[in-house]
């Protein structure tokens, strides 16, 4: 697992680190600071202070106060003690600071040039990379780097992963953007790999493996460490308690630990984001921080370094090649389980619709980018605005004022892009002639079958037109997807019918609602190209529930191994619920478990995960909380592939107007396995504030492909 260090990216950064230390040490000597014998130091401490004036609960009127109460004291304390630190901010935050207080920007530049600090990059906006298309991530980083260079005269070589939401595909994006290292939280990736990883690795840089098999050094953030420091600064624990915690990380070997790697705006200021956040006492919290820094700086057991300095480590436990993403956790994020990727994808302030709207803007912008008659400067401005609209802080505890502005900006960009697109022509959709027929039934079971040269579909009219069996003839006569009836597994934990194609709604305040009711199925044969192919056969049904009506259609294509499920929901006020549709149960008899995998894009190139030996359920609620899901896939190209060595199924959705997120369930059961894919159109957590009323449509297709 250990890799050779010669020729790898971290070498140039290590040389830069050495140069910075010479400058920094000279600076310390000129200041006649206390010197210490570094040979007995056992713990190097570094920090990354995250600055974000787009913080969801901070009003623009408070920006000046945040700069005065949070940003200035950070520079002053570290300059006073000559203690190195690093700072990370979005390009938009740097521009905003420059508007309000250019002297702060000048001071930061001076401190960086003196070797006392280094800037970490995060892009123009704080985007959750695994939830947006690769092109958007590339534009976000490119725009941010240009702003850093213009404002501070430098292009950072280390990137701080936004909200510590990592994916292996995102690592490729960072590598291609020219970054030589990333900063990512240790705690969650270790938790997912603790049976295989050495805990000593947390104290040294390692290599993160990208989706394409490349490597990038990763410098570790530590959620427990920065939360402990926050508690000390907020007056919840004493300095003795905090130093006792630091001692648990000391060793005879020289180790490195991230002392802080989180928001700067929570020190001496309260955004008002959480009901449970610590009260701001009368004392100045920076005095507590300064006192601690002074104490640690005098100790022979602690040294302060920059994150980049750690890349010069030659410890044998450093620079191992690690897969940070796993099948159960392809998108690890920071902090505890309740703080997972669904908070920016499926909960918040109507994330599913707002992300869907951004995908619609992205599709329009992509079409414009390929045209030669559009102004390059205007296109770049549109990309910049789209990056901003995809920012994470519009998706959680956002104020009403900010949310109204956000919706208005979406509309303005949409109008602008439509105006630029007006010279292009939309392809007309031909009208369809439909032949209506009563369904065919199979005795009392009420199964309805549709057969084509490529597909044989059977649905159950007694269970909401759920898919009983889906055969793709090229793969043989065995169904790949369908219903596993009660008794299929001996394990009583799975002693239920496991359907496909149905809808499940679980409101927190009432009982579960499904569409698994007896329905009348109507068959339509489409003449023309309404669905892009002549002779499409459609089965349709409708169910009325206590929450509203659910209409479902399944379209079977005559000349392709493909079906499409179309759902039309008419809710009478659905809010803050777990809403799942497009549920597919895969036939374990049809797949080779040894080579079984799923693949998707999480903000970068395709990522592939083999399933054997793993057990997980992304849709499972977080234990002892009101949070209804633990994980989801980004699926930023709208595609998930399920397959083995011989075959694959491509499941595809349109990300606009509803950006539903796929989830995987995989368990070993008896001597077999259970594999299901489902799509979530909404979840609940402490950020949820959404309601659907009226009609909404969503489609998902499944197509056979031989590997």
Mean pLDDT to the nearest integer, 180-198: 96
Report yes or no on 428 lying in a domain: no
Q: Write the pLDDT tens digit of every residue in 307-354.
A: 999 999 888 899 999 999 999 999 999 988 888 999 999 999 899 999
Same domain, 409 and 443: no
Mean pLDDT to the nearest integer, 208-228: 97
Report yes or no on 1 lying in a domain: no
Domain boundary pick from 367, 393, 420: 420
Number of domains in the chain: 3
Q: What angle do CA 73, 91, 11 make, to 5 degrees?
A: 90
Query: pLDDT exceeding 70 applies to what percent of the chain?
Result: 87
Q: Which residues contact 455 (CB under 8 A, 6 or more apart)?
A: 470, 471, 472, 473, 556, 557, 561, 562, 563
Same domain, 162 and 128: yes
Q: Write the pLDDT tens digit of every residue in 545-576.
A: 999 999 999 999 998 999 999 999 999 999 98
Give the pLDDT confidence score for residue 390 in this predicted structure. 97
Asked if residue 349 lies in contact with residue 576, where contact means CB atoms within 8 angstroms, the answer is: no
Same domain, 616 and 474: yes
Report yes or no on 416 lying in a domain: yes
State the Cα–Cα distance between residues 128 and 387, nearest whole angstrom.
Answer: 10
State the Cα–Cα distance between residues 707 and 644, nearest whole angstrom.
Answer: 8
Domain boundary pick from 284, 306, 322: 322
pLDDT, the chain, mean = 89
- Residue 595 is part of a domain; what is its CATH number? 2.70.98.10
Give the pLDDT confidence score for residue 427 in this predicted structure. 40
Task: Grade residue 279 by pLDDT with cuts at 50, 70 and 90.
Answer: low
Nearest-CA neighbor of 200 among 301, 332, 318?
318
Same domain, 627 and 691: yes
Q: Write the pLDDT tens digit of every residue in 474-502.
A: 999 999 999 999 999 999 989 899 999 99
- Residue 99 is part of a domain; what is its CATH number? 3.20.110.20
Q: Which residues contact 544 (CB under 8 A, 6 or more apart)?
A: none
Q: Identify the domain containing residue 113 by its residue range.
A: 10-322
Give the pLDDT confidence score for residue 426 in this predicted structure. 43
Same domain, 405 and 481: no
Nearest-CA neighbor of 421 among 358, 356, 383, 365?
365
Same domain, 390 and 488: no
Nearest-CA neighbor of 133 among 602, 665, 661, 569?
602
Report yes or no on 669 lying in a domain: yes
Report yes or no on 344 lying in a domain: no
Same domain, 482 and 590: yes
Report yes or no on 166 lying in a domain: yes
Nearest-CA neighbor of 351 among 683, 697, 695?
683
Asked if residue 157 lies in contact with residue 193, where contact means CB atoms within 8 angstroms, the answer is: no
Mean pLDDT to the nearest integer, 508-531: 83
Secondary structure of residue 402 in the 3-state scheme:
helix
CA distances 322 to 115, 176, 325, 328, Å, are 31, 19, 9, 16
Mean pLDDT to the nearest integer, 444-463: 91
Domain boundary pick from 420, 449, 474: 420
181 backbone dihedrals φ, ψ, rounded to 5°: -165, 160
Same domain, 130 and 187: yes
Residue 276 has pLDDT above 80, yes or no: no
State the Cα–Cα distance between residues 168 and 608, nearest whole angstrom.
Answer: 10
Task: Grade residue 398 by pLDDT with cuts at 50, 70 and 90.
Answer: confident
Same domain, 318 and 354: no
Nearest-CA neighbor of 599 among 661, 660, 647, 643?
643
| Strand pairing category for 647-653 and 639-643 | antiparallel
- What are the tokens at 524? 């339509």
Same domain, 537 and 626: yes
Q: Write the pLDDT tens digit of every residue in 358-385.
A: 999 999 999 998 776 667 889 999 999 9
Same domain, 579 and 677: yes
Q: What angle do CA 593, 631, 567 make, to 5 degrees?
A: 85
Report yes or no on 643 lying in a domain: yes
* Residue that the structure tokens 């059961």 belong to: 669
Asked if residue 90 lies in contact with residue 123, where contact means CB atoms within 8 angstroms, the answer is: yes
Same domain, 584 and 526: yes
């Amino acid at each position: 697992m250990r890799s050779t260090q010669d020729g790898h990216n971290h070498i140039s950064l290590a040389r830069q680190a050495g140069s910075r230390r010479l400058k920094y040490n000279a600076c310390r000597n000129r200041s006649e600071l206390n010197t210490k014998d570094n040979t007995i130091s056992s713990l190097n401490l570094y920090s990354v202070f995250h600055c974000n004036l787009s913080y969801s609960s901070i009003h623009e009127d408070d920006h000046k106060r945040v700069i005065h109460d949070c940003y200035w004291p950070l520079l002053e304390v570290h300059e006073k003690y000559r203690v190195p630190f690093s700072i990370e901010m979005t390009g938009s935050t740097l521009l905003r600071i420059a508007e309000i207080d250019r002297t702060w920007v000048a001071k930061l530049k001076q401190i960086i040039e003196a070797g006392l600090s280094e800037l970490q990059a995060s892009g123009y906006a704080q985007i959750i990379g695994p939830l947006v298309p690769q092109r958007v991530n590339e534009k976000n980083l490119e725009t941010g780097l240009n702003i850093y260079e213009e404002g501070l005269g430098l292009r950072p070589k280390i990137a701080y992963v936004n909200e510590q939401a990592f994916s292996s595909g995102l690592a490729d994006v960072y590598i291609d953007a020219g970054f030589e290292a990333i900063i990512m939280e240790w705690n969650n990736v270790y938790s997912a790999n603790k049976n295989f990883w050495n805990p000593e690795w947390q104290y040294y840089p390692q290599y993160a493996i990208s989706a394409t098999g490349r490597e990038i050094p990763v410098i570790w953030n530590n959620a427990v460490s920065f939360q402990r420091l926050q508690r000390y600064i907020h007056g919840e624990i004493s300095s003795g308690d905090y130093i006792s915690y630091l001692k648990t990380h000391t060793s005879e070997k020289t180790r490195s630990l991230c002392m802080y790697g989180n928001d700067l705006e929570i020190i001496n200021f309260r955004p008002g984001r959480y009901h449970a956040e610590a009260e701001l006492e009368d004392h100045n919290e920076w005095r507590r921080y300064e006192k601690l820094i002074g104490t640690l700086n005098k100790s022979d057991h602690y040294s302060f370094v920059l994150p980049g300095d750690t890349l010069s480590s030659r410890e044998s436990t450093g620079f191992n090649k690690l897969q940070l993403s796993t099948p159960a956790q392809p998108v690890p994020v920071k902090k505890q389980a309740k703080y997972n990727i669904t908070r920016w994808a499926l909960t918040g302030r109507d994330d599913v619709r707002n992300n869907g709207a951004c995908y619609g803007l992205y599709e329009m912008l992509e079409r414009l980018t390929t045209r030669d008659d559009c102004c390059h400067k205007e296109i770049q401005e549109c990309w910049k605005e789209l990056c901003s609209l995809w920012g994470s802080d519009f998706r959680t505890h956002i104020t009403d004022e900010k949310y109204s502005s956000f919706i208005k900006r979406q509309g303005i960009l949409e109008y602008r892009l439509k105006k630029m697109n007006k010279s292009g022509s939309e392809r007309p959709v031909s009208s369809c002639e439909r032949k209506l027929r009563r369904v065919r039934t199979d005795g009392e079971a009420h199964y309805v079958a549709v057969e084509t040269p490529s597909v044989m579909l059977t649905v159950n009219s007694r269970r909401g037109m759920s898919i009983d069996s889906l055969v793709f003839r090229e793969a043989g006569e065995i169904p790949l997807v369908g219903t596993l009836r009660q008794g299929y597994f001996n394990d009583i934990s799975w002693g239920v019918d496991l359907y496909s194609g149905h809808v499940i709604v679980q409101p927190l305040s009432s009982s579960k609602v499904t569409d698994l009711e007896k329905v009348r199925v109507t068959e339509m044969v489409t003449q023309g190209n309404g669905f892009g192919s002549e002779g499409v056969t459609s089965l349709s049904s409708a169910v009325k529930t206590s929450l509203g009506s659910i209409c479902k259609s399944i379209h079977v294509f005559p000349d392709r191994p493909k079906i499409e499920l179309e759902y039309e929901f008419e809710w009478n006020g659905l809010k803050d619920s777990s809403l799942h549709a497009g549920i597919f149960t895969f036939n374990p008899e049809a797949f080779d478990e040894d080579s079984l995998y799923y693949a998707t894009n999480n903000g970068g190139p395709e990522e592939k995960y083999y399933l054997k030996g793993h057990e997980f359920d992304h849709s499972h609620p977080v234990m002892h909380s009101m949070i209804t899901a633990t994980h989801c896939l980004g699926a930023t190209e709208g595609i998930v592939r399920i397959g083995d060595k011989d075959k694959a199924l491509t499941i595809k959705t349109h990300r606009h107007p509803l950006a539903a997120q796929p989830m995987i369930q995989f368990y070993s059961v008896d001597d077999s396995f259970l594999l299901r894919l489902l799509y979530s159109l909404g979840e609940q957590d402490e950020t949820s504030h959404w309601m659907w009323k009226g009609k909404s449509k969503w489609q998902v297709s499944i197509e056979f492909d031989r590997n």
